[in-house]
Structure 1
């Protein structure tokens, strides 16, 4: 007891303000300052990620890209990837970060890129590296109550909340884009054009001119949305080929 009384009481400015606000005091999580603790946690997180990469390259790659894209949510990135032997470059704003894919958007298109085909991802030259503090979702009191008492129903109705709480797979995300016209790239020079109808048992079903086609999701290299003029052009090409034959 005597030793306890002789111990030096360390000043804790955070608890000082909490007590003044009537929130009470809490025990510190570590013996360091809050900013040092945060930096240490980030360091440990990165160290764990690189350790995983050494032992499981594919899993490490997925974690690395997921981490990078999360830090760039709603910001511009450039992605280099392969479609067969063809090298492709895409630039756009990070719209959705999934478990196994990233979705980019730009003025022309929406692009789904599986992590497995990505070779490199970076911040475009000349684009400022903003902090991601503005990326937090703003919760009002009504939304807080709904999340507390009707979590599943509330989250399922909002895409932003789905992204906040869950990491969708490519198949799950494509389900939300039914009736969207897309071009699916399977290999160099091999693509399929059609309207997304459904996803079932890891098969993406497209429809084009009344004909259905099924594509194994694992064979998809990347997907792009297409504009109305491109759709008309593809229909015209298909009809022209049909007439010749």
Structure 2
């Protein structure tokens, strides 16, 4: 727009108008003396919906482009959306379909961990047939996560990330996608029940290799290949006592 004014005069007038301008505080985007640019021309709630839609659309596009990874990609996304929430998982159990439920405790590269009042359950994605949220259950994470912010933890993550994360399972699950092998390495000495298509084996985790896990009971050692594993369940004390008693009885009267 032509004003017929010299640049210096125009600039002086513009600055004067700017000083006299009545400013209105933006209650959404303005914080203190700073103002952030809106992420889009749409309201925040609409922008959030669009972002979630685009993320899911991209996931389905990627999954359809590599069908061999589709199941793993979809399951990982579903379980991440349900972290610390109750889910129902249907998986292959010795030729039949078994249903179990629990809170999503950890999401790995090739497995998920569910926990309930009694057990910790490791389920490889390859054996999962379907997963869903139970009807009538609220979808929320632990309430304290929204209110407690640990400034000391923030400082440690900034200055000593590797050592800080390595000391806490929750942070490992948050920042890394472990493999089943890597996760079981940290459970050496724990008694578990390993279920394969042919048998159920009880034992203490002694060692873990790339292809298998070694379980040691009172009287025997068994190697369970990950390719054959349907799921793992932590053994409760009562079951361990029964198992040891059975093995001792068998040894005495063999």
TM-score range, shorter chain: 0.7 to 0.9
SS in 1 for 2:178: coil
Cα distance in 2 between the residues matched to 1:76 and 1:131: 9
Task: Give me the whole-angstrom Cα distance separating, in 2, the residues matched to 1:183 and 1:133.
Answer: 29
Q: Give, in angstroms, the shift of residue 183 of structure 1.
A: 0.8
Select the residue among 235, 245, 250 that pairs with 1:226: 235
> Which moved further from structure 2: 205-214 or 105-114?
205-214
CA contact (8 A) 1:15 1:25 kept: no
TM-score (norm 1): 0.84
Cα distance in 1, alignment partners of residues 233 and 50 from structure 2: 40
Choose the corresponding residue for 1:44, options 50, 54, 79: 54
* Structure number, greater radius of gyration: 2
Selected match of 2:112 from 84, 102, 107: 102
SS at match of 1:230: helix
**2:158 matches 1:145:** no
RMSD: 2.6
Change (3 A) 1:167 1:12: farther
Match of 1:8 in 2: none
Matching residue of 2:73? 63
* Contact 2:195–2:230, Cα closer than 8 Å, also in 1: yes
Alignment deviations for residues 114-154 of structure 1 (CA, whole Å, 9 cap, x no partner): 111111111223323x2448456944221111111100010
Q: How many residues are paired up? A: 233
Matched residue, 1:118: 128
Cα pair distance change 1:12/1:119, threshold 3 Å: farther
Task: Determine the structure 2 residue equivalent to 1:217.
Answer: 226
Separation in 1, partners of 2:78, 2:25 = 35
Distance in 1, matches of 2:209 and 2:149, equals: 34
Distance in structure 1 (CA, Å) of the matches to 2:142 and 2:221: 45
Tell me which moved more, 73-82 or 196-205: 196-205
CA distance in 2 between counterparts of 1:76 and 1:16 reads: 35
Q: Unpaired segments of 5 or more residues in structure 2? A: 3-13, 15-23
In the alignment, is the contact (CA less than 8 A) between 1:114 and 1:222 conserved in 2?
yes
Residue correspondence of structure 1 range 56-205 to structure 2 within 5 A: 56-128=66-138, 130-132=139-141, 134=143, 138-187=148-197, 189-205=198-214
